[in-house]
Amino acid sequence: MSCGIGGSRAIRSTVRIKTIASHGAGEMAEWLKAHAWKACLLERVEINLTKRVQTPHGWRYCTVALSANGRVKPDVVVVNDKQETHKEGAYYLEWREGSTRVRLSVGKDPADASARRQRKEAELNAVNNGVAVVPDGQKGTDR
């Protein structure tokens, strides 16, 4: 994802704003209302990647530390706002379904855990937006 000012996203936004501004004020208000309505329908599910580690206070689920490029730092977690190395423990995905917190163990490999997080987030967002998702291992064989 690019957040730079000079990226194509900024150009597309500028073009969209100019297009909207060229319409009458009533049309612009209707477009904004419709856009806000769609944004409410398309709720995003965010998946947290945590690691269960042993601390002086017992086992805790701690947020994993990310490097500057967004990848998971192997065996590094954030405990009390400080990064610490913990070789023990396993990685977990965590999200909410309504008011219920769901945790799913995804193993001890940080790269695999990060890939599983992205896959699960895409799956839950697709389901949330009305797309039928085929679970792993049940892929259609009739083409």
The pTM of this model reads 0.64
Print burial letters for 107-128: b (CB count within 10 Å at least 16), e (below 16). eeebeebbebbeebbebbbeee
Asked if 74 and 84 count as a contact pair (C-beta separation under 8 A), the reply is no
| Residue bearing the bigger pLDDT, 2 or 141 | 141
SS3 call for 106:
strand
**Domain ranges (residues) in the chain:** 8-41, 48-128
Digit-coded pLDDT (tens) for 52-102: 999 999 999 999 999 999 899 999 999 989 999 999 999 999 999 888 999
Structure tokens belonging to residue 36: 């806000």
Digit-coded pLDDT (tens) for 96-137: 988 899 999 999 999 999 999 999 998 888 888 888 888 776
Asked if 45 and 121 count as a contact pair (C-beta separation under 8 A), the reply is yes
* pLDDT band of 6, cuts 50, 70, 90: very low
The sign of the dihedral angle between the CA atoms of 98, 101, 107, 113 is: positive
